[in-house]
Chains A and B, each alone.
Chain A
């Protein structure tokens, strides 16, 4: 990848400060259920006796677990989440964004780190219990069947696949020998695409009987029994004029 994206440094120039907030998973799930407008809640910053307190309060409609609009009285996501704020001591963190068009821009510097914590109460505990139960469920489950499966192994006079195969063969008929020259032309055009071919593939391509095809191949080509291209046929040197791939590229470029 030779193209380098110029980084848009406007955010940093303006010294935009952002907060990096760690949010629990369930809360982010609830946020995803938010409406188009995107309002999820409120941040309440208060100063209590000199201390700054930041709290996040979840909107009412988003407290329901489950689909939006459903009011499940028993289980509700807690609403109050105090933020624990830290300063960015050890790390210099910046935020960069990548757009769909692979444009990179530096959005800003992180000035505060915060963790969104729930208030621990019974409701929360119940919620957690649910979560744990869901996570401990195994992904694979072994089920006991009441009756044995009988559909699979019934003895059949002729399997479906075989029947189809035979029909196909009959419809196509035996492979007829075409003219020597015609077959040669087919082969040459095939070998223009690839250098090494398996005899089966050649039969497929040319639709000629194997013996006839082998005769022709013996005349114009050689058989590789060893080496990289194990049991393949290739044209004799006098018949081929391959250029290396690089040359081709250079020519086309």
Chain B
């Protein structure tokens, strides 16, 4: 260091050193002059990096190892990213902001954001003067602008916009934050009327409420709906009415909220059964059934569709209505299993709509077991029977009697043949009187006709259009050709072709078989008839 004394100029020289081996990195901490920061007043300071951005940049690792993790997931993710050219910016700790806390918990807080581009074109050096008079120059590594962080509550952006709209009207600015605090209490705690009133009082001063232009869950939207509408009005600039409305709003809001709550609580029964699915139904009566059901939603009972389904629908009525679907599906299933004759019978049952007599339910039990191959719950039968009997009266039972009788007659035919030439033409012993009456004339009528001529029994049946006539000859032909069961024979003489009704077919066939008296043999546990000539 040399100093030259001069008349008008004096110069001092200092050497400048740039230390090479500094372990320290120098940074600039810049404050705004308006903040009036005086570092010398600091007693204690703490500084750390603000790592909150790590969540955004760093990908969430889902459970590494053990539960929930996949083998080789990382590699796959990386490969996928490379394939799509996704370049994710690295999370550099160096570039993260600083958080500076001065004078402990009660003191100030600063956030220091890194200023970019400082060291790109020019380098900054810090010149400090050493005790020996020389200057030491340290390069500046980074520049951080520190701004003080507010500890007090602030308005959100939406709220701020709202207040901006009302800036000319609002006189009392203190109330703004007060409103906000109250509102937060309301939302967090219970629905207090007091708070509403309080807020109502505050409004009198003309300060409007802070708006509730918040995007919340549905309930809050509903509750605050009135507020929203008002606040939106305010935003449009119609603030004139707002002041007046504000006072009334508090009470109105309370009322509205309560009313909306009440509304929500009430149950409406009307729409309960709209979405009920009803299975495909072929007949009109079934639609009437639908209507009836819909008309009586509360009733546990609703009429079943037929004998077979009576049991099931009775079960349904005790349970839920959805099972009706299942029952109908079962109906469909069963149709597939039955023979054509039986399907006809079934259709009859559908049209009948009701068979509630206890007799019917008894018959169901017996007839169905052998011929209809249905699943039954025996214990329920008794209950059903009683339930059925209780429901009789309003519904006609005759068609079902018919169907019962037809099933009965088939059985009767079979039993007749087994009995051989026994004089008793009796049908099954369990048939009720009404059916017997019907049976007897029907059984009797083909007999005389059969006795008179070997021709087709014309007494009862007049085949109008027939490709196949139900004659003894025809039956004989079939039986000579190969052994057949009664069922097979029935199939041959379909009612459509012979023009006979199913009852008649059965009767006539029974007569014919009686006359022919074919030989029997058991094939596959079924009784086959055959003739040898």
Q: Which residue numbers of A lie inside 8 Å of B, CB to CB?
A: 1, 3-7, 9, 12-13, 15-16, 18-25, 28, 31-32, 34, 36-49, 56, 89-100, 104, 106-110, 114, 190, 192-198, 201, 229, 232, 242-245, 248
Contact = CB atoms under 8 A, between A and B. Distances in A.
Given A43-B135, A91-B30, A243-B67, A23 B122 contact: yes
A245 B123 CA distance: 48
Interface of B: 8-20, 23-33, 35, 37-40, 42, 44-49, 51, 63-72, 100-101, 121-128, 135, 137, 139-141
B124 A21 contact: yes
Interchain residue pairs A-B with the least CB separation, the first 8: A242-B67, A46-B11, A19-B127, A7-B45, A28-B123, A196-B70, A97-B24, A92-B31
A104 B49 contact: no
Given A19-B127, A40-B16, A98-B25, 16 more contacts: A7-B47, A9-B39, A12-B40, A18-B127, A23-B122, A23-B123, A23-B124, A25-B121, A32-B18, A42-B16, A95-B27, A97-B24, A99-B25, A193-B66, A196-B71, A198-B72
A56 B16 contact: yes
A116 to B, nearest CB: 8
Contacts of A56: 16
Q: Please classify the interface of chain B as helix (H, G, I), strand (E, B), loop, or mixed, using the class held by over half of its residues.
A: strand
Contacts of A196: 68-71
A248 B28 contact: no
A13 B40 contact: yes
A178 B504 CA distance: 74
Given A4-B47, A28-B123, A198-B72, A97 B26 contact: yes
Given A192-B66, A194-B65, A4 B17 contact: no
Contacts of B29: 93-96, 106
Contacts of B48: 1, 3-5
A58 B50 CA distance: 41
Contacts of B126: 18-21, 95, 107, 110
Contacts of A108: 128
Contacts of A95: 26-29, 126
21 contacts: A15-B40, A19-B126, A19-B127, A23-B123, A31-B18, A36-B20, A37-B17, A38-B20, A42-B13, A44-B11, A47-B10, A49-B8, A92-B33, A93-B30, A93-B31, A94-B39, A108-B128, A193-B66, A194-B71, A197-B70, A245-B65
B17 A197 contact: no
A228 to B, nearest CB: 9
A195 B68 contact: yes
A44 B12 contact: yes
Contact of B16 (A9, A39, A91): A39
Given A43-B14, A46-B11, A23 B40 contact: no
B71 A93 contact: no
A192 B66 CA distance: 6
A244 B66 CA distance: 8
Contact of A245 (B20, B24, B66, B71): B66
A6 B66 contact: no
A245 B67 contact: yes
Nearest to B63: A245
Contacts of B70: 194-198, 229, 232
A95 B26 CA distance: 7
A102 B496 CA distance: 102
B15 A89 contact: no
B297 to A, nearest CB: 39
